[in-house]
Amino acid sequence: MAEQHVSFKVEDLFSVKGKIIVVTGGGSGLGKAIAEGFAVNGAKVYIVGRRQAMLDTAAKEIPGDVHTIQGDVQSQAGCIKIADALKAQVSHVDTLINCAGVNSPWRVQVNDHNDSDQVENLLIHGVEEEDFDRGNQINVNGVYFLTVNLLSHLRKSAEPNVCVIASLAGLGNQRSMGSLTYAVSKAAAIHLAKLLAGRLHPMRIRVNTICPGIFPSEMTGTTTGKHEYAISHQAEKAGKRCTAGRPGRPEEIVGPVLLLSSPGGGYMNNALLTVDGGRLMGISINDGLRMPEDTYTEFIEG
For the chain, the domains span 10-295
Distance CA 208, CA 196 (A): 9
pTM (predicted TM-score): 0.90
CATH class of 10-295: alpha beta
With both helix axes pointing from N to C terminus, report the angle between 129-136 and 180-199 in degrees, rounded to the nearest 10: 30
Give residues with Cβ within 8 angstroms of 277, minimum separation 6.
213, 214, 239, 242, 243, 244, 245, 246, 248
Kind plus residue range of the DSSP H or E element containing 190: helix 180-199
Q: Average of pLDDT values for 19-43?
A: 97
Per-residue pLDDT reduced to its tens digit, 148-180 = 999 999 999 999 999 999 999 999 877 666 689
Residue 285 has pLDDT above 50, yes or no: yes
Please choose, from the candidates 16, 48, 154, the residue with its C-alpha nearest in 3D space to the C-alpha of residue 93: 154
Distance CA 83, CA 150 (A): 6
Residue 302 has pLDDT above 50, yes or no: no
Residue type, position 40, single letter: V
110 CB-contact burial (10 Å; exposed 0-12 / middle 13-18 / buried 19+): middle
**Higher local confidence (pLDDT), 32 or 294:** 32
The share of the chain scoring above pLDDT 90, in percent, equals 73
Per-residue pLDDT reduced to its tens digit, 228-249 = 666 677 777 777 878 888 889 9
282 CB-contact burial (10 Å; exposed 0-12 / middle 13-18 / buried 19+): middle
HEC-encoded secondary structure of 116-181: HHHHHHHHHHCCCHHHHHHHHHHHHHHHHHHHHHCHHHHCCCCCCEEEEECCHHHCCCCCCCCCHH
Alpha-helical segments (H) within 49-127:
52-61, 76-87, 116-125
Residue 50 has pLDDT above 70, yes or no: yes
Kind plus residue range of the DSSP H or E element containing 193: helix 180-199
If pLDDT is split at 50, 70 and 90, which confidence band does 292 have? Answer: low
**Higher local confidence (pLDDT), 302 or 146:** 146
Give first-to-last CA distance, the chain, whole Å.
48
**Number of C-beta neighbours around residue 37 at 10 A:** 25
Average pLDDT in the chain? 90
pLDDT at 221: 59
Q: Are strands 229-231 and 221-223 parallel, antiparallel or unpaired?
A: antiparallel
Residue 66 has pLDDT above 90, yes or no: yes
- DSSP-derived secondary structure for 246-283: SPPPHHHHHHHHHHHTSGGGTT--S-EEEESTTTHHHH
